[in-house]
């Protein structure tokens, strides 16, 4: 069998993480089996579909590296084909015209609900033999007996009795086809063999199978994937944070981290947590997808992202960092070589946004200190420490981490204070916030000129603080 899978989003918004996971599973199945992965844009909802949403979907797919072999195909370009199939169903007696008014249908629904029955169309026009008119819709003539059997790769065998289904509308009064018709025609024409989608579509599947059967089409294999929940157990939505794929890019996540995280939502391979793309393809099988919903855990995603940042080639990471540095409001032109900085800092942060903030002090001067740290570290006893450091660093010719560290040791010994009494005020003086890697490596990256300037700034800050205190 030549496997063919598809991802078929509606362009009514961004590419969300649930859709991205569905696309990923379909992509993996195609790649695992040597099949084809097709992208189809289901844009028949003309009021809600936008070009911006189409672009957001395409951009998200590209960022995640989910390359498609065919497409994108657009449903709005297939209306003639849909009309052809609707006519085929009418001619074969598998569809009929219905002129039931909205008022009648509303009254029917209310009565069924009052009688505690499942609301469904009662087949009023099924055998009337009506012709097309301005007020008619076309309904599919669903079988009245028998069962629809779905051998789902995820859910197992699902059996739906045809009496639970009604004659759904496949063409509206304005002549436009409905979702269940267009999906069936596209899957048939595109020769889809496997349809992997969210389990919110499970109730549509028996209806689509009956239409495919009426058309004499070969049935695809279905796999209905459980939904993604927020950490509160409710359906994932904006209130849980970023749900748009491109928002994760903006927030400083790497695509390989998000892909790795999404593949582990409802699928696993033993206890393995970290997967390369090649390993995902090698190990993935749709039958291993869990049947229960998965909760989105941002902390787990951050852990994975930190892993991928830490192991990223610093030169590649430097290119990626430029947009986040620009967004943070500074430039890496005036300061140490960015690749050298990232070799030291990349293991310290869980997002690229955080990393851009962490290294800011190396490129941008500051005039304020973290208030809590300043109160703790910039005391009267810190003044001679910083002055001694400034004097020694001013005369230091060999600006290397080893020589810089030797000055710290000499200050500790000369002033007879602990390392903390030297290193901590020094770190605050040069960073402004008191956080950095080893102080000797930090100063080597910062450079002699900036180090001396910031020591002077800290000395003046402490003196001004002392003067203000004496006046009170």
- Chain segment 400-417, per-residue pLDDT in tens: 999 999 999 999 999 999
Q: Which of 126, 118, 125, 128 is nearest to 143 (CA)?
A: 126
> What pLDDT score does 110 carry?
96
> What pLDDT score does 145 carry?
95
Indicate the pairing of strand 169-171 with strand 156-161: unpaired
421 pLDDT band, cuts 50/70/90, is very high
What is the spatial distance between Cα 337 and Cα 445, in angstroms, rounded to a whole number?
8
Average pLDDT over residues 392-397: 96
CB atoms within 10 A of CB 39: 22
What is the spatial distance between Cα 321 and Cα 450, in angstroms, rounded to a whole number?
23
What is the spatial distance between Cα 230 and Cα 267, in angstroms, rounded to a whole number?
17
> What pLDDT score does 203 carry?
94
Lowest mean pLDDT among 45-54, 154-163, 203-212: 45-54
Indicate the SS3 state at residue 137: strand
Average pLDDT over residues 264-284: 95
240 pLDDT band, cuts 50/70/90, is low
Tokens 């029955």 sit at which residue? 117
User: Is the CB of residue 27 less than 8 Å from the CB of residue 49?
Assistant: no
Q: What is the DSSP string of 266-293?
A: S--STT-----HHHHHHH--GGGS-SS-
Percent of the chain with pLDDT over 70: 98
Indicate the pairing of strand 70-74 with strand 95-98: unpaired
What is the spatial distance between Cα 412 and Cα 459, in angstroms, rounded to a whole number?
18
> What pLDDT score does 350 carry?
97
Give the containing element (helix H, strand E) for 126.
none
Residue 174 has pLDDT above 80, yes or no: yes
Residue 44 has pLDDT above 90, yes or no: no
> What pLDDT score does 46 carry?
76
CATH of domain 371-471: 1.10.10.350
Question: What is the pTM (predicted TM-score) of this model?
Answer: 0.91
- Chain segment 65-121, per-residue pLDDT in tens: 999 999 999 999 999 999 999 999 999 999 999 999 999 999 999 999 999 999 999
What is the spatial distance between Cα 11 and Cα 168, in angstroms, rounded to a whole number?
24
Average of per-residue pLDDT values in the chain: 95
Active site residues: 238
Long-range pairs of 198-202 with CB within 8 A, sequence gap ≥ 24: 198/18, 198/22, 198/224, 198/225, 198/226, 198/227, 199/154, 199/155, 199/224, 199/225, 199/226, 199/227, 200/227, 202/152, 202/155, 202/158
Long-range pairs of 460-468 with CB within 8 A, sequence gap ≥ 24: 461/369, 461/374, 461/378, 462/378, 462/379, 462/380, 462/382, 462/383, 462/386, 463/383, 465/378, 466/380, 466/383
> What pLDDT score does 1 carry?
77
Average pLDDT over residues 285-294: 92
């Amino acid at each position: 069998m030549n496997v063919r899978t598809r991802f078929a989003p509606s362009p009514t918004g961004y590419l969300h993480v649930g859709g991205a996971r569905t696309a990923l599973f379909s992509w993996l199945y195609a790649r695992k089996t040597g099949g084809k992965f097709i992208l189809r844009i289901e844009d028949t909802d003309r009021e809600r579909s936008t070009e911006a949403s189409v672009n957001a979907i395409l951009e998200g797919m590209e960022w995640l590296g989910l390359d498609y072999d065919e497409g994108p195909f657009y449903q709005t370009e297939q209306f003639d084909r849909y009309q052809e199939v609707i006519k085929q169903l009418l001619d074969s007696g598998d569809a009929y015209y219905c002129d039931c008014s909205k008022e009648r249908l509303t009254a029917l629904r209310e009565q069924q609900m009052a009688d505690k029955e499942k609301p469904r169309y009662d087949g009023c026009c099924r055998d009337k033999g009506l012709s097309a008119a301005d007020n008619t819709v076309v309904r599919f003539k669903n079988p009245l007996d028998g069962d629809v059997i779905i051998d789902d790769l995820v859910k197992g065998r699902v059996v739906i009795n045809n009496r639970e289904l009604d004659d759904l509308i496949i063409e509206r009064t304005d002549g436009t086809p409905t979702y269940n018709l267009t999906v069936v025609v596209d899957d048939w024409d595109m020769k889809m063999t496997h349809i992997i989608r969210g389990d919110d579509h499970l109730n549509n599947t028996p209806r689509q199978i009956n239409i495919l059967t009426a058309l004499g089409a070969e049935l695809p294999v279905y796999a209905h994937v459980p939904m993604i929940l927020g950490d509160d157990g409710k359906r994932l939505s904006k209130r849980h944070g970023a749900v748009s794929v491109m928002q994760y890019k903006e927030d400083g996540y790497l695509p390989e981290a998000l892909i790795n995280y999404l593949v582990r939502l409802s699928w696993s391979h033993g206890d393995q947590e970290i997967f390369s793309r090649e390993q995902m393809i090698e190990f993935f099988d749709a039958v291993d997808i869990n049947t229960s919903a998965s909760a989105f855990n941002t902390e787990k995603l951050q852990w994975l992202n930190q892993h991928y940042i830490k192991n990223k080639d610093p030169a590649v990471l430097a290119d990626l960092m430029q947009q986040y540095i620009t967004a943070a409001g500074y430039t890496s032109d005036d300061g140490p070589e960015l690749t050298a900085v990232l070799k030291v800092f990349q293991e310290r942060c869980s997002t690229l946004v955080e990393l851009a903030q962490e290294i800011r002090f190396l490129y941008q001067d500051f005039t304020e200190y973290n208030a809590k740290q300043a109160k703790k570290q910039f005391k009267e006893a810190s003044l001679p420490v910083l002055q001694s450091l400034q004097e020694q660093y001013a005369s230091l010719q060999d600006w290397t981490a080893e020589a810089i560290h030797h000055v710290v040791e000499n200050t500790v010994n000369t002033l007879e204070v602990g390392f903390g009494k030297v290193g901590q005020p020094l770190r605050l003086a040069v960073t402004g916030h008191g956080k950095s890697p080893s102080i000797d490596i930090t100063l080597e990256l910062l450079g002699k000129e900036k180090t001396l300037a910031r020591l002077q700034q800290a000395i003046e800050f402490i003196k001004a603080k002392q003067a203000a205190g004496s006046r009170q």
